[in-house]
Amino acid sequence: AHENTGLQSQPPPEEQNYGATAAHVRQGPFASVSRTAPAKNEYLIAALLCYANLINFMDWFIVPGILLDIQKYFKLSDGGTGLLQTVFILCYMLAAPIFGYLGDRYNRKIILGAGIFFWSSVTLGSSFINELYYWIFFLLRGLVGIGTASYSTIAPTIIADLFEEGKRTTMLSIFYIFIPVGSGLGYVLAAGMADATGDWHWAFRVTPCMGGVALVLLILLVPHRTQRRTAAHRALSISGTIRVAAEKPGVHRTAKTTWCQDVISLAKNWSFVWSSLGLTAMAFVTGALGVWVPVFLYRAQVVQGIVPPCLHESCNSSNSLIFGGITIGTGILGVIAGAEAARRLRKINNKADPLICATSMFISALCLYIALTVAQTNTLSTFIFIALGELFLSVNWAVVTDILLYVVTPRRQSTAIALQILVSHLLGDAGSPYLIGTISHAIQDKNARSFQWSFWSMQYSFIVCSFIGVCGGAFFLLTSFYIEEDRKEAER
């Protein structure tokens, strides 16, 4: 399934920050494809898919946006609270390859429509759960993860089939930009609805309505059988676009290798191994920050006396609103800045990519550590250093993708992307929210119950993120030792 047929994939940089999973693809003989300029209807379909992607990632981050209210309502410990996002991401991660397989073989419009209907319905249902049935709420979050996986794995393949190479790169990049935007808006929506209604349950009743609109438009705009290109054009890892050359007599074709042989080869590719571990460290830090930062800021402000404890009334959601805005801004700016820095520095240093990643990880870890130390005394400085930490984390997403593409031979790139995504989620953001919450809970249990220790426990547990960030920087430094040799090997 990973025959070298001259494919070269170019994933949009935003994809790997937010956990899309590479679909399993079949590659067949090449055929020339002649297409006219995209029709107006194709742009409408692409706009619809971007809109649905926005809703998709808003649903991801509704829970972190009102985590304080949910924790209080269900009487959850920090460990139990962190498990909420872990359940969601694990279900998403495990379901995504299955939907990638189905999307290559069955009607994609039906799978997309069923996915949108399913996750919207489950999200709406989760807004009616009684406080005695917290386990049902956990179950429903896992089901939402399965529903969103059906969308994330299939929608990009439809966009790729609608547009030729040049336009396809642009449209997929726009599609993936909605990931950080949707993530930030998830915080904003959740906090805004909780503030406006005084009841956090309403945060789960907006995106299902938006999903209903998307479903109606999908039925009206997308043909029952979405056009597929030749087998060569369908050979798309969902993280990116494909450059396809028509097969000609005499073109050299490499012998097929089994999946196990590909994995063994990748395990010997040290640039791929170390950069994947660096990406895992990035995902770990990003996942922990995404869930716990609003709670940490709230506890710091309670200790400072800026806000009252939310013992009975609805909790103040201003931190989620601000953090949502930071997530949107730093996500977009970081990706653009990282790509531009790499483009310029590659001209003077062949090891520029891993060195950029290492430097940004070290700076990000330092910024996050400073944010932790000043949180109890200066809220503004805390926000500034958290924003800088997120910005330098975001710098790396585009660059890590580029590293994979030129150190792995084209016939193994789909396998490499799938493995990298699986490892980065499994060892990264799938477990980090739960780990941070568990450490915080353990510290609280060993000390007197107080608002001060509630803050300190979260502060001490967050130091793990700074340590993992430094480890990530070290992994990228190790990548720089091997990258030139591995790049030449991949080109051969």
**Is residue 261 in some structural domain?**
no
Query: What pLDDT is stored for residue 274 in this prediction?
Result: 94
CATH number, domain containing residue 66: 1.20.1250.20
> Are 299 and 233 within one domain?
no
Tokens describing residue 408: 């792995």
> Are 206 and 293 within one domain?
no
Q: What is the DSSP string of 177-220?
A: HHHHHHHHHHHHHHHHHHHHHS-GGGGGGTHHHHHHHHHHHHHH
> Are 228 and 120 within one domain?
yes
Tell me how many domains the chain contains: 2
> Are 354 and 437 within one domain?
yes
Round to whole Å and give the CA distance between 101 and 153.
9
> Are 149 and 274 within one domain?
no
> Are 192 and 298 within one domain?
no
**Is residue 486 in some structural domain?**
yes
Query: What pLDDT is stored for residue 211 in this prediction?
Result: 92
Query: What pLDDT is stored for residue 470 in this prediction?
Result: 96
Buried b (16+ CB within 10 A) or exposed e, 444-477: beeeeeeeebbbbbbbebbebbbebbbbbbbbbb
- Domain termination residue (choose one: 217, 237, 257): 237
> Are 187 and 295 within one domain?
no
Tokens describing residue 99: 């939907």
- Domain termination residue (choose one: 214, 237, 260): 237
**Is residue 249 in some structural domain?**
no
Round to whole Å and give the CA distance between 198 and 193.
8
pLDDT tens, residue order, the chain (492 aa): 333 333 333 444 433 333 333 333 333 333 334 444 457 788 888 889 989 989 988 988 898 888 888 888 888 888 888 888 888 888 888 887 777 677 767 788 888 899 999 999 999 999 898 888 889 999 999 999 898 888 877 777 777 678 775 576 567 667 777 878 888 899 889 888 888 888 889 999 999 999 999 999 988 887 766 555 543 444 433 333 333 333 334 444 445 677 788 788 888 889 889 999 999 999 999 989 988 888 899 889 888 888 887 766 666 677 888 888 888 888 888 878 887 888 888 888 888 889 999 999 999 999 999 999 999 898 899 999 999 999 999 888 778 877 877 788 777 766 676 677 778 888 888 889 889 989 998 998 888 788 888 899 989 999 999 999 999 999 999 999 988 888 888 887
Instruction: For residue 439, give its domain range.
Output: 269-491
Tokens describing residue 121: 């319905």
> Are 233 and 363 within one domain?
no
**Is residue 371 in some structural domain?**
yes
Round to whole Å and give the CA distance between 266 and 268.
5
> Are 336 and 233 within one domain?
no
Give the N- to C-terminal CA distance of the chain in Å, as an integer: 21
**Is residue 17 in some structural domain?**
no
> Are 350 and 415 within one domain?
yes
Torsion, Cα 475 476 478 481, to 10 degrees, reads 170
**Is residue 23 in some structural domain?**
no
Please check whether residue 400 is in contact with residue 483, taking contact to mean a CB–CB distance below 8 angstroms: no
Query: What pLDDT is stored for residue 173 in this prediction?
Result: 64
Residue 106: exposed, middle, or buried by beta-carbon count in 10 A (0-12, 13-18, 19+)?
exposed
Round to whole Å and give the CA distance between 281 and 287.
10
Round to whole Å and give the CA distance between 430 and 432.
6
Round to whole Å and give the CA distance between 358 and 346.
15
The β-bridge partners of 241 are 10
**Cα-only R_g, the chain:** 22
Please check whether residue 17 is in contact with residue 397, taking contact to mean a CB–CB distance below 8 angstroms: yes
Please check whether residue 239 is in contact with residue 20, taking contact to mean a CB–CB distance below 8 angstroms: yes
- Collapsing DSSP to helix, strand or coil, 322 comes out as helix
Round to whole Å and give the CA distance between 433 and 78.
9
**Is residue 316 in some structural domain?**
yes
> Are 289 and 213 within one domain?
no
What are the Cα distances from residue 160, in Å, to 175, 236, 344? 11, 8, 29
> Are 69 and 137 within one domain?
yes
Least Cα distance to 17 among 392, 412, 489 occurs for 392
**Is residue 8 in some structural domain?**
no
